[in-house]
Amino acid sequence: MNILTCHCLSPHGSLTTLVSRWVLMGSVVLTGLLFTATASAQITPSRSLTAGGSPVATLEEQLINRLHATTEVQGDYIRYIVKLVDEQKLEARLVVAIEQYAIRRNPQYAFPYFERALRYEAAKRGVGLPALRHYQSTAGLRR
């Protein structure tokens, strides 16, 4: 038996097998650390249903929850969209149709698809919508 072979063998197998096991375990741990997302709740306020209250979600609540708008800026952007619907600058059925399109595109994170498609369709109808990053930088001016 060769001296190199003798030093490379262990009760668990060859040195290469042992190293590859450590590399695999290290990569699994590193992947877990890198891709661990922080959990955040939806930002819709809870509402109490009174005798005259409707159990149906409002357009704002529906958009925030179904599009997984978890940041305050995304919630503000959706409230701005709902305000445009209330002012009849955008049609509610257009907003809902684009919401459904975005959910079909990516059910886990539909918000970017919603924002992009809504800006495109609103521009075709003569309504200029800012991109979320532009909206975020001017959010203080809108309040």
**Can you give the residue ranges of every domain in the chain?**
3-34, 59-142
Amino acid residing at 71: T
Total number of residues shown for the chain:
143
Structural tokens at position 105: 């595109």
Q: Residue 141's pLDDT is what?
A: 47
**Rounded Cα–Cα distance for residues 65 and 10 (Å):** 55
Per-residue pLDDT of 16-32, as tens digits, reads 776 777 777 777 666 66
Region for 129 from its dihedrals, namely left if φ exceeds 0, alpha if ψ lies in -120 to 50, beta otherwise: beta
Low-confidence residues in the chain, pLDDT < 70: 1-13, 15, 18, 28-53, 138-143
Mean pLDDT for the chain overall: 79
